[in-house]
Amino acid sequence: MAEEYRGLVREMCERKLAPNLPYVKALFLGWFEPLKEAIEREQKLEKSKKQKSAFSPNIELLPADKMAVIVMHKMMGLVMVGHEDGCVRVVQAAVQIGIAIEQEVRIHNFLEKTKSYQRKKTLHDVQESMDKEKEMLRKRVNSLIRRKRLMEVQNLVKQDETKPWSRDKQAKLGSRLIELLTETAYVQPPANQSEGVPPDVRPAFRHIFKSVTKNPGQKIGLMERLSTC
């Protein structure tokens, strides 16, 4: 997982968005465990509930660590390239995170299915040929993932028969994951502080509302990134 963070930090540095590299790296490493644990708790809670939430069972379809990495990277990517002064619209962020999770679920399911083919042994020539094709395809998918060529990965796994998620499901899952991120991700400005003064720890993201310029009476929900992160 740490390699995932290194890649994003390199990108931020290249775009001059990470003047303090050790600090940014520590941020992502610091957010991962609390977010992963929060997602794990949510997954366990959903399994035990009789009345399921709107985002269930989608939140249970990936390991919590994978889900945490996707949420952190997607949210930071959205606020980095957003056009709302360090903010991103909540609805947009929720849908994009939901889409990213769905894509990873499809890749995860594809790799799990091809693993099962690898484990099965048969003397039938046709079956053996199918197994070899599946294994070759699996290796190609893994290679493309390592090289970050995700569009090609999607084309290879599009035969997946899983029913596509609705936009509503994507948004509801993304919304809940954003809530968990805001509850667990904190930043501490790297400014010099006097001895004995408690550290200035703040939430890394917060949900705010802003008036629409063209229609002052209308407000939109935004996720704001604290400037120190």
Mean pLDDT across 148-171: 70
Mean pLDDT across 114-128: 52
Q: What percent of the chain has pLDDT over 70?
A: 61
Does 194 fall in a domain?
no
Does 162 fall in a domain?
yes
Q: How confident is the model at residue 166 (pLDDT cuts 50, 70, 90)?
A: very high
CA quadruple 92, 82, 10, 144: dihedral positive or negative?
positive
H or E element, residue 222: strand 215-225
H or E element, residue 165: none
The structure tokens listed for 86 are 């360090």
How many distinct structural domains can be found in the chain? Answer: 1
Does 63 fall in a domain?
yes
Does 116 fall in a domain?
yes
From CA 208, how far away is CA 158, in angstroms rounded?
Answer: 37
What is the residue type of 197? V
C-beta neighbour count of 197 within 10 angstroms: 7
From CA 187, how far away is CA 191, in angstroms rounded?
Answer: 12
Mean pLDDT across 81-108: 86
Mean pLDDT across 199-221: 84
Helical residues (DSSP H) of the chain, grouped into ranges: 2-14, 21-48, 64-81, 90-119, 125-146, 150-156, 167-184
C-beta neighbour count of 59 within 10 angstroms: 22
Does 9 fall in a domain?
yes
**pLDDT of residue 149 exceeding 90:** no
Q: How confident is the model at residue 43 (pLDDT cuts 50, 70, 90)?
A: very high
Q: How confident is the model at residue 220 (pLDDT cuts 50, 70, 90)?
A: confident
Does 193 fall in a domain?
no
- Phi-psi label, residue 209: left if phi above 0, alpha if psi -120 to 50, beta otherwise: beta
Structural domain for 171, as ranges: 2-188+199-225
Does 32 fall in a domain?
yes
| 186: phi then psi, degrees, rounded to nearest 5 | -130, 155
* pTM attached to this predicted model: 0.73
Specify the higher pLDDT residue, 197 or 146: 197
Mean pLDDT for the chain overall: 76
12: nearest Cα among 194, 23, 2, 124: 23
Surface-to-core class of residue 49, CB atoms within 10 Å of its CB (0-12 exposed, 13-18 middle, 19+ buried): exposed
**pLDDT of residue 203 exceeding 60:** yes
| Residue 53, helix vs strand vs coil | coil
**Peptide bond before 189: cis, by omega within 30 degrees of 0?**
no
**pLDDT of residue 162 exceeding 80:** no
Does 153 fall in a domain?
yes
